[in-house]
Amino acid sequence: MTDFTEMDQWDTEKVRQFQEDARFHRHTMRLKAPAARAEHLVAEGDSWFDYAPAGTDIIACLQNHYDYTIDNYAKAGDTLENMIYGTRIDSRFGKVSPSIDQVLQRIGEIKPKAFLFSGGGNDVAGEELESYLNHKESGLPALRLSYVNTVIQEIFRTYFEDLIAKVASVSPETYIITHGYGHTFPTGKGVGIFGFSFIGPWLLPALARKRIFNLAEQQQVITTLIDTYNDLLEDLRNKHPKFLYIDLRGMLDPASDWANELHLKNSAFARVAERIHQEILSL
């Protein structure tokens, strides 16, 4: 695997230029004749696909390092439910056309080899995390395991089954490539830029509000949530030949690869992009 550690020394301007280069690359590739274009993909996801200006992200790395053209519909902070069904409403409480409509239309138009998908982190982090926890003084286990299994193994499973069916309905030969999340520590660190923290943290506040202060207990809670989500994705991979899941737990160091509680350092995002690139090449 390539060593991308130099990317961790980039200042804000270098990161901005990297992201701008990715956007420029996407525009210029669309102007080329089809035979001269790089592999054309479609992506939907959360901040792992849309992390500017705080850092690099997987999509920018795929475009700059491996010359992909990617129609990226990702939005930082997005949830599985909104990406797959749509939850946004207008000022009159009417339905706003969900982004999945645009995503599926584009997949149907270009029939990409792969549809890249990143999601799940925002569905269990932040304020949502509290719903998975019991208060320490209740004497109950820290993690509401039955609730965890209901949400992840049943509800999220339905979400992904529907996503798989929707993609297959417009482009049967397109693979879905997604990733789990590696193990992370509840450090209380959020996204910072120019010396200011403006988003997050997402894990430690919820644990503290539930009075779960023991470090080992905190880590066990987060590890169980991450492992349960990865178990779901692995099961889906085993059942659906066109659904490809990449397990990142063995390649991400929880002590050194994370910029904050939910996001990777630039070099780690680049390594994940390299792993996805390898998966695409294997198709």
The pLDDT value given to residue 214: 97
Distance (Å, whole) CA 161 – CA 237: 11
The pLDDT value given to residue 28: 59
pTM to 2 decimals? 0.93
Q: How many Cβ atoms from other residues are within 10 Å of residue 213's Cβ?
A: 11
The pLDDT value given to residue 215: 97
Which residues are paired to 115 by β-bridges? 42, 176
Q: Which of 234, 240, 230 is nearest to 167 (CA)?
A: 240
The pLDDT value given to residue 31: 47
| Bond into 205 cis (ω within 30) | no
Number of domains observed in the structure of the chain: 1
The pLDDT value given to residue 26: 62
Q: Report in angstroms the alpha-carbon separations of 109 from 35, 167, 170, 171, 173.
A: 17, 12, 9, 9, 13
CA 238, 242, 243, 245 torsion-angle sign: positive
The residue segments making up the domain with residue 269 are 5-281
CATH number at residue 239: 3.40.50.1110
End-to-end CA distance of the chain: 19
The pLDDT value given to residue 35: 46
Residue 189, both tokens = 């660190």
Q: Which residues contact 253 (CB under 8 A, 6 or more apart)?
A: none
* Ranges of residues in the chain whose predicted pLDDT is under 50: 31, 33, 35-36
